[in-house]
Structure 1
Amino acid sequence: MNAQALRKPRISRLEEAQADLHARTQRSRKMAADRSEVINGAMAASGIAPPPIFIADNQGAHFTDLDGNSYLDTCMGFGVHVLGHRPKVVADAIKAQADKGWHFSLRGADQLAYAHRIQAASPTNQRVVLANTGTEATLYAIRAARALTGKTKIALFDISYHGAHDTALVWAAPGSTPEQVVPMTLGHGIPAAVTDDVLLLPYRHPLAIAAIRAQAHELAAILVEPVQGSNPEGDVGPFLAELRAVCDEFGIILIFDEVLTGFRLGYQGAQGKFGIAADISTYGKVAGGGLPIGVVAGKADLMATFGDFTAAKGIFFGGTFSGNPMSIAAGLAALSELQARPDIYAHVDRLTAKVTQGFNAHAEANNYPARIVSCGSMWQVFFQSEALSSFDYAGKEAEGAFYLHCLAQGLFIHATHRCFFSAAHTEADADFVLDVLSQSLAATREDGLI
């Protein structure tokens, strides 16, 4: 047998990374197998699925999995933890409240102090309603707009996420174009008629404003993520100003879904960053300090609909755990800290800018078809198609390999690919992120995937 025949096949960089992760995540993989027999629901994934990871504990900017592996976290509870995991100020508040009780049948005194923190986020947050989740908040905001105007149609933007209720789950069907956006519902079990009450629009496109003008007489409200979680571009101010102007012109209620951007892009969220106020705002995530919460806030005359549901234009809302004392305690502690420390926002924005600029310069210099899009402390890597100005995907296989290499090197980027920095991340962490992203690009190219 000659030397050629004895030579082992080359193991790709991807196979090496997969084997390494497989060996290091035995307990997590067993947990995934055990759970699959009892608990429905899978982690979102694209391309090459990473091994299942289960978190044992977390602190600051890191977490440890069931096998004892440590990772630098860029998901941060899907953007929840601006202060980092388990910040002392929030942990102390949770412990103190637990000693007094964790669920009441009546309202607690801290709700008023919490509502004042919400009011400070926007000059139009004159009245506040408490809920449990961002999904509830956007559902109630839509219901309020319909009750106030007597109209049923809501304008939404494609690829935006507003929760899991029926109206929010209307996206563009495959093959849609800005000129012709065809609505479809995500998943089954949603009446097709839901799409009749949705005007689906292309985000940041002139045709969106034209469509709003054409159907203004039917519209109760425009619901918009001021910065889309799926595409965190920061130069959206002019478009938001156009939305504000057209709503003022036709008497349409403008709802900002700040569940993701609220208290993350700054204490005043997107409204403060871009200098544009909404009529009604919804909040969640950061506003709960790591515990579940939803908030609807807005102008006093509009929020009057959240009263007696038997009154003219009154709506029904409620929830056993709405404004529960544990979420209020955690949220009040987190918001008080963020309101008192604007330096936190300067810090996380600086880290994001460092990674964005460093990665994009490296990718351009080495002809990698990728770049980071970011706004404030929100950022995401996008792979390009052949045209460098077209950011769809270079290919699911390449993308999946890239993120698996990141995980193998101890950098956790969730399968949704949405990334966030927190007060607990350091300059050294930003350097680590840059190094891992660069090495992951190189390994993906070495295998011929990009």
Structure 2
Amino acid sequence: MTQEQAAYRTNQSANLFERAQKVIPGGVNSPVRAFRGVGGTPLFFNHGEGAWITDEDGNRYIDYIGAWGPLILGHRDPGVIAALEAQLKNGLGYGASTEGEVVIAETICKLVPSIEKVRLVTSGTEATMSAIRVARGYTKRDKVLKFEGCYHGHVDGLLVKAGSGALTLGEPDSSGVPKSYTDQTFVLPYNDTDALKALFQKHGDEIACAIVEPVAGNMNLVPPRPEFLATLREVCTQSGSVLIFDEVMTGFRTALGGAQSIYGITPDLTTLGKVIGGGLPIGAFGGKAEIMDCIAPLGSVYQAGTLAGSPLGVAAGQAMLDAIQKPGFYESLTERTEQLTRGLQAAADKAGIPFTTNQVGGMFGCFFTEQKDIHRFDQVMSCDAERFKQYFHLMLQNQVNLAPSAFEAGFVSAAHGDNEIELTIAAAHKAFAAL
């Protein structure tokens, strides 16, 4: 072990994890935090600043998780902190409507033209669950179509060949979900247009909605083939099915108008989260007014949330949305992410390690494989997960914090400058050499 690696300690994290396991299932409040996919002791953090995050042992890391996406401006952005401090002076919440809810709803509808009306909720899971309920109420149908490796939160009927934590745990189907729920769910391979056409030809009039991550970020990062999204839009239109884009992860992360603005596809409903809360818990779903007006109190589809539209969440989210509208923001973010992925690829090539990357906007994915075009679920599953585990810990020892799973995308923030990118690439050279 080098002197640099010897300075890396996890004593406090190990102690906290031991305590946590006695009172929290698995010692964590979300499965991927448990490091089951990579082994070792999960880290406990206590501070973030810009592109850096610090654990309980005082180790500092360049952070490529960013609270799983929402911290597009980095940790403790001054504008977001100021917005929260201003709201704190007025209270935490009122159990009633506020101007902040209206302002952020207006902003969302302006930035994502497919959203004519929007309802705020408290999580991404709640957003997808509610969008599906509305689609079923609108169409008077029950069947739902999802795609392999796409994770849409822990909604009962969607935990079939799901991505993210379900893949990390090696359990694509969750216990506790009645078979009658999943019997209503069709599952197709992501990016397979032939299978898509065949399913809708046979069952199109039964399908209430198709839900998809327009850029899959929960089986690592897998971009769509352009013809895939176009075909999905076409068959949904022909069959009268509602097309739902799950942009909880990609919305305002890949582009100002979301992934739908990149690929030129207009969904009927969109689910959002992450960035629109500025780091606080929030979600939203919206789309065509005709569909959204099916929701109570206007319509018969019931959906409610006591803390929906939290004054703190909308204040932080609006500050974030204001910041990302500045000219050149996404061009700079994309350029920085491309700089990172080029450097990682060069480091792997130099060491002779089979490796490839995907990138869309400020999101990226890394794959240990000989294949250079990763666009299917089975390709992701055939990658060298064992080598990723080694890579993950080597990067951690060299001050780089990556998602503790081979099935999660990475996130670059506006706070990642040349110094952070150069340090990350230097760490990758060391890691690939050790591999």
Partner of 2:6: 20
**Counterparts in 2 of 1:393 and 1:202: CA distance versus 1, 3 Å:** closer
Partner of 2:313: 327
- Residue 268 of structure 2 is aligned to residue 268 of structure 1: no
Alpha-carbon distance, 1:363 to partner: 2.9
TM-score (norm 2): 0.90
**Counterparts in 2 of 1:242 and 1:25: CA distance versus 1, 3 Å:** same
Alpha-carbon distance, 1:138 to partner: 0.4
Partner of 2:87: 97
Matches within 5 A, 1:357-368: 357-368=342-353
Partner of 2:180: 193
- Matches of 1:144 and 1:234 in 2, distance apart? 27
- Matches of 1:172 and 1:232 in 2, distance apart? 14
Alpha-carbon distance, 1:74 to partner: 0.4
- Matches of 2:144 and 2:160 in 1, distance apart? 11
Partner of 2:424: 433
Number of matched pairs: 415
**Counterparts in 2 of 1:338 and 1:355: CA distance versus 1, 3 Å:** same
Partner of 1:10: none
Shifted more, 46-55 versus 368-377: the winner is 46-55
Matches within 5 A, 1:303-322: 303-308=292-297, 311=299, 314-322=300-308
CA contact (8 A) 1:233 1:375 kept: no
- Matches of 1:26 and 1:427 in 2, distance apart? 31
- Matches of 2:17 and 2:135 in 1, distance apart? 43
Partner of 1:208: 196
Which amino acid is the alignment partner of residue 197 of structure 1? Q
- Matches of 1:117 and 1:256 in 2, distance apart? 19
- Residue 215 of structure 2 is aligned to residue 227 of structure 1: yes
- Matches of 1:192 and 1:248 in 2, distance apart? 29
Partner of 1:218: 206
Matches within 5 A, 1:278-357: 278-308=267-297, 311=299, 314-339=300-325, 341-357=326-342
Alpha-carbon distance, 1:105 to partner: 1.7
Alpha-carbon distance, 1:104 to partner: 0.6
Matches within 5 A, 1:398-409: 398-409=387-398
Matches within 5 A, 1:70-85: 70-85=60-75
Shifted more, 427-436 versus 153-162: the winner is 427-436
Partner of 1:375: 360
Partner of 2:48: 58
Alpha-carbon distance, 1:235 to partner: 5.1
Partner of 2:17: 32
Partner of 1:443: 434
- Matches of 1:185 and 1:425 in 2, distance apart? 34
**Counterparts in 2 of 1:45 and 1:101: CA distance versus 1, 3 Å:** same
CA distances 1:39-90 after superposition (whole Å, capped 9, x unpaired) = 2234243564133211111111101111111111000000111111111111
Which amino acid is the alignment partner of residue 202 of structure 2? A
CA distances 1:146-205 after superposition (whole Å, capped 9, x unpaired) = 0111100000001101011202211179xxxxxxxxxx9622111011121101010001
Which amino acid is the alignment partner of residue 328 of structure 1? V
3-state DSSP of counterpart to 2:161: strand
CA contact (8 A) 1:185 1:192 kept: no
Which amino acid is the alignment partner of residue 308 of structure 2? S
**Counterparts in 2 of 1:163 and 1:47: CA distance versus 1, 3 Å:** closer
Correspondence for 2:142 among 136, 148, 152: 152
Unaligned residue ranges in structure 2 (runs of 5+): 164-170
Unaligned residue ranges in structure 1 (runs of 5+): 1-12, 174-183, 445-450
3-state DSSP of counterpart to 1:203: coil
CA contact (8 A) 1:234 1:376 kept: no
- Matches of 2:212 and 2:180 in 1, distance apart? 21
- Matches of 1:396 and 1:106 in 2, distance apart? 48
CA contact (8 A) 1:18 1:404 kept: no
- Residue 160 of structure 2 is aligned to residue 170 of structure 1: yes
Alpha-carbon distance, 1:273 to partner: 1.2
